[in-house]
Structure 1
Amino acid sequence: MLLTALTVLLTLLYPLAIWLGHGRVEPRWLALLLLLAAASRLPALKLSSAARWSVAGALVLVGCAVWSNLLLPLKLYPVLVNAAFLAAFGYSLTTPVSMVERLARLREPDLPPEGVRYTRRVTQVWCAFFVFNGSVALATALWAPEAVWTLYNGVISYILMGVLFAGELLARRRFRRLHDA
């Protein structure tokens, strides 16, 4: 539980820390933040191949930042996170049980067929979101000033995620009302 809280905190504060450290701390030292974020995900490695790939990618970014002493590899971490989520959610669409269905079955084990179709559609929507969000994260990493990168990856992307989550929650309630009647 404490490790999960640390992982969430590191992920949320990472863009701000990179922005505040830029110009004050060499990127190779800022890479320690990403190394810490990757280390906090180590317990999840035995649970998910997406977690293994995500940690491996983070370690590659750390190595690139240490070797080159450039900020760009550190700014690519949000791209990696979106790619990992896209891979996990997208892969689940090739299996009988989508990612959102798996999550829904934690609360409702006997999901009706229309609920299965709904959760598959929601998984597709999240995949589209990860493509969009990862693309914007990549564009801000490559071409935007650090302040814009930080604003998007540390604030706007979380707001967009929250709006999508809240919108899906409202749509789910409406869906249940229509199908439970």
Structure 2
Amino acid sequence: MLLNVATVIITVLYPLAIWFGHGQIEPRWLAGLLLLAAAVRLPALRLSAAARWSVAGALVLVACAIWSNLLLPLKLYPVLVSAALLGAFGASLLTPVSAIERMARLSGQDFPPVASAYMRGVTQVWCAFFVVNGAIALGTALWASEAVWSLYTGVISYALMGILFGTEYLVRLRFRRLHHV
């Protein structure tokens, strides 16, 4: 539990730390933040292919930042996270049980086919979100100032995620009412 809290805090604060550190601390030293972000994910490696890819990619970005002493590899981390989540959610669409349904089943419930179809649709919506989010994060990393990049990856993307969660929750309530699920 404590490790999950640390992971969330580091992930949320990472863009802001990069922004505040830019110009004050060399990128090769800021790479330590990304190394820390990768380290807190180590316990999840046995559970998730997305976590393994995310950590491996983060280590490549750390190595690139240390070697080049450029900020760009560090700014690509949110792109990597979106890509890893897209990979995990997208791969689940090739299986009978989508990622959202797999998470919902953790409660021990069984769902009728109409609910499974709904959850597959929600998984597809999240895949679209990860594509758009990753593309914007990439665009801001390549062409925007550090302040714009930090604002998008550290604030706006989380707000958009919250809006998507909230909207899906309202749609789910309506769906359950209509289908008596």
Q: TM-score range by the shorter chain?
A: over 0.9
Match of 2:94 in 1: 94
Once residues 41 and 148 of structure 2 are traced to their aligned partners in structure 1, the CA distance between those partners, rounded to angstroms, is 27
Match of 1:142 in 2: 142
**Gaps spanning 5+ residues in structure 2: where?**
none
Match of 1:116 in 2: 116
Give a deviation string over 1:10-64, Cα, whole Å, max 9, x none.
Answer: 0000000000000000000000000000000000001111111100000000000
Letter of the 1:180 counterpart: H
Give a deviation string over 1:132-163, Cα, whole Å, max 9, x none.
Answer: 00000000000000000000000000000000
**Gaps spanning 5+ residues in structure 1: where?**
none
Match of 1:78 in 2: 78
Q: Percent identity?
A: 73
Match of 1:35 in 2: 35
**Offset, 1:104:** 1.4
Once residues 47 and 133 of structure 1 are traced to their aligned partners in structure 2, the CA distance between those partners, rounded to angstroms, is 24
**Offset, 1:103:** 1.1
Once residues 50 and 147 of structure 1 are traced to their aligned partners in structure 2, the CA distance between those partners, rounded to angstroms, is 28
The number of equivalent residue pairs is 181
Match of 1:159 in 2: 159
Give a deviation string over 1:67-125, Cα, whole Å, max 9, x none.
Answer: 00000000000000000000000000000100001111123521111000000000000
Match of 2:104 in 1: 104
Once residues 136 and 172 of structure 1 are traced to their aligned partners in structure 2, the CA distance between those partners, rounded to angstroms, is 27
- TM-score when normalising by structure 1: 0.98
What SS is found at the alignment partner of 1:107? coil
Letter of the 2:68 counterpart: S
Once residues 110 and 35 of structure 1 are traced to their aligned partners in structure 2, the CA distance between those partners, rounded to angstroms, is 40
Match of 1:8 in 2: 8
Once residues 110 and 96 of structure 1 are traced to their aligned partners in structure 2, the CA distance between those partners, rounded to angstroms, is 14
- TM-score when normalising by structure 2: 0.98
**Runs of at least 4 residues of structure 1 off by over 6 A?**
none
Letter of the 2:147 counterpart: A
What SS is found at the alignment partner of 1:78? helix
